[in-house]
């Protein structure tokens, strides 16, 4: 088949909603775009464990500690499903980890902000996982099979994360004057960075047009961001708190909430490595990697021992 015919068959499949699988022919740019997005997504899950892990030893009760440990463990699992999906595109886990640790690979800007108080655990769950879930529900229908299947399971767990975050804030919002203030402060600090999670505005998004044509993305960055603003502006009423944006108001013509301008200079500065915690996150990842070497070696030695035992039995 000529290259033209291969490309046509490939696009026809996508148009007919047939998933692209690892052994199918695909344009090199489709492979690269998926690899870029899936590996960035995996890195975000893994780096995302750090700001939350920060509060495991300081959770206010045994119950809160158990819930937080479960959530952080879920994030590790999400990272692993996603690394496995990315590996089907012809790269190795080692290479991806090296790219993350060297600072070459991107991960979500949101995880370069600090978690200063217990209320941040609520705000991260409600706002950060809330933003993530909107994006990820769309990705359950993405055109690359292994990515779409990983997302189905991830979304089930993310909806638990969002609810636990909201419930944490709900308790604080009904608490003492100090707890209410802590709740409002966390919302104030996490609101704008959460809006930035959806990526640059559509006019600045270099990858969106092609990704939408290939149905890797089904909605644009601005469409998802608007959906998030509409959802959170309603949910916050139940907390009796406010969003730190005076321009939020219902727009009858658009049937959506209007909202203020995002600080895009801050967004790009964080993406380029100059956010409040970029350096700290990479240092932590590199330290963990070095300190975990004996665990990786032990796991490999155990796997090899098991393999030899099976070989002897078969023989
Ligand atoms: N941060 O052309 P665009 C979670 C980059 S983790 C950093 O619009 P695209 C959780 C972008 O990579 C949730 N960089 O890109 C875990 C591109 O640069 P390159 C993570 C960003 O890919 C633990 C450039 O800007 N979710 O749920 O079409 C605890 C131009 O952007 C960001 C995912 O990763 C950003 N925010 O669209 C709690 C979802 N935004 O690569 C929660 C999967 C943009 O060309 N990813 N950039 O050098 C996606 O859906 C898409 O990649 C994005 C961006 C919507 C994020």
CA of 58 to the centre of ligand 1 (A): 30
Q: What angle do CA 286, 136, 169 make, to 5 degrees?
A: 80
Instruction: State if residue 43 touches ligand 1 by the CB under 6 angstroms criterion.
Output: no
Q: Would you call 176 helix, strand, or coil by DSSP?
A: coil
Instruction: Kindly give the number of the ligand 1 atom that is closest to the alpha carbon of 125.
Output: 38
- For the cut 70, the answer to whether the pLDDT of residue 267 exceeds it is yes
pLDDT at 315: 67
**pLDDT tens-digit readout, 84-121:** 999 999 999 999 999 999 999 999 999 999 999 999 99
Secondary structure, 3-state, 155-178? HHHHHHHHHHHHHHHHHHHCCCHH
Instruction: State if residue 271 touches ligand 1 by the CB under 6 angstroms criterion.
Output: yes
Cα(131)–Cα(133) distance, rounded to whole angstroms?
A: 5
Residue with the smallest CA separation from ligand 1 atom 44 is 199
Mean pLDDT estimate for the chain: 96
Instruction: State if residue 40 touches ligand 1 by the CB under 6 angstroms criterion.
Output: yes
Any residues with CB less than 8 A from the CB of 263 and at least 6 apart, and which?
Answer: 192
Q: Are 204 and 271 in contact (CB under 8 A)?
A: no
**pLDDT tens-digit readout, 173-223:** 999 999 999 999 999 999 999 999 999 999 999 999 999 999 999 999 999
Nearest to 100, CA basis, from 294, 269, 277, 289: 289
What pTM was computed for the model?
A: 0.95
């Amino acid at each position: 088949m000529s290259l033209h015919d291969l490309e046509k068959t490939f696009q026809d499949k996508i148009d007919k909603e047939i998933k692209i699988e690892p052994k199918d022919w695909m344009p090199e740019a489709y492979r690269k775009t998926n690899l870029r997005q899936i590996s960035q997504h995996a890195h975000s899950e893994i780096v995302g464990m750090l700001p939350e892990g920060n509060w495991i030893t300081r959770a206010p009760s045994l119950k809160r500690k158990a819930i937080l440990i479960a959530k952080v463990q879920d994030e590790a699992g999400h990272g692993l499903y996603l690394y496995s999906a990315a590996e089907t595109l012809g790269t190795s886990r080692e290479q991806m980890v090296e790219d993350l640790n060297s600072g070459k690979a991107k991960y979500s800007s949101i995880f370069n902000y600090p978690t200063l108080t217990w209320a941040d655990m609520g705000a991260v769950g409600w706002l950060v996982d809330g933003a993530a879930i909107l994006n990820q529900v769309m990705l359950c229908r993405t055109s690359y099979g292994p990515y779409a299947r990983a997302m189905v399971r991830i979304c089930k767990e993310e909806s638990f994360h969002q609810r636990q975050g909201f419930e944490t804030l709900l308790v604080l919002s009904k608490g003492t004057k100090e707890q209410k203030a802590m709740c409002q402060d966390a919302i104030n600090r996490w609101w704008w960075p959460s809006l930035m999670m959806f990526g640059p505005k559509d006019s600045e998004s270099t990858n969106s047009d092609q990704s939408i044509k290939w149905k890797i993305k089904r909605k644009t960055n601005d469409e998802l961001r608007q959906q998030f603003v509409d959802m959170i502006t309603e949910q916050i009423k139940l907390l009796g708190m406010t969003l730190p944006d005076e321009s939020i108001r219902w727009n009858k013509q658009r049937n959506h909430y209007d909202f203020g301008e995002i600080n895009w200079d801050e967004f790009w500065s964080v993406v380029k490595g100059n956010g409040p915690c970029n350096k700290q996150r990479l240092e932590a990842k590199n330290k963990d990697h070095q300190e975990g070497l004996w665990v990786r070696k032990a796991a490999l030695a155990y796997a090899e021992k098991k393999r030899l035992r099976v070989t002897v039995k078969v023989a």
